[in-house]
Amino acid sequence: MENVAIVGASSKEERYSWKAQKMLMERGHRVFPVSSLGKNVLGVVGFRSLLEITEPLDTVTLYVGPARLPEILPALLAQKPRRVIFNPGTEHPQAMAVLGGQGIRVEAACTLVLLATGQF
């Protein structure tokens, strides 16, 4: 079981971040939904920033556009998760290089596929 922050969390069932949170929960992971509004998702308390999370994070999975990465990067570095997953459409080469340089494993992958294929 991992502690997983979902940046770009959504309470809309059609969103990939919602589907990922549901799958993560079904597989026993502890989730921390993070969004600009800090809304609760699937009955789990939401956060407005990674910095509000006081538990150690194993994985952060990103569901935000690359333009948002520069503002999120300092919080990612402060939290120092074991890995950060850049889901399709979130890739940001500079942020990926900075995180990797700090010893954080970076994956350009789809969280849903990783979960469905047992690679998470």
Q: How far is Cα 8 from Cα 34, in angstroms, rounded to an integer?
A: 6
- Give the pair of three-digit tokens for residue 69: 């990465």
- For residue 111, is it within any domain? yes
Can you give the CATH number for the domain in which 90 is found? 3.40.50.720
Domain count of the chain?
Answer: 1
DSSP of 95-112 = HHHHHHHTT-EEEES-HH
Nearest in space to 8 (alpha carbons), one of 53, 45, 42, 49:
49
List helix spans (H) across 9-80. 16-26, 69-79
- For residue 29, is it within any domain? yes
pLDDT tens digits, residue range 52-104? Answer: 999 999 999 999 999 999 999 999 999 999 999 999 999 999 999 999 999 99
Residue found by looking up tokens 């597989």 in the block = 27
- For residue 30, is it within any domain? yes
Q: Is 111 exposed, middle or buried (0-12, 13-18, 19+ CB in 10 A)?
A: buried
The arithmetic mean of pLDDT across residues 21-44, rounded, is 97
Average pLDDT of the chain is 97
- For residue 65, is it within any domain? no
Supply the pLDDT for residue 86. Answer: 98
- For residue 66, is it within any domain? no
Range of the domain at 30: 3-60+71-116
Q: How far is Cα 71 from Cα 10, in angstroms, rounded to an integer?
A: 19
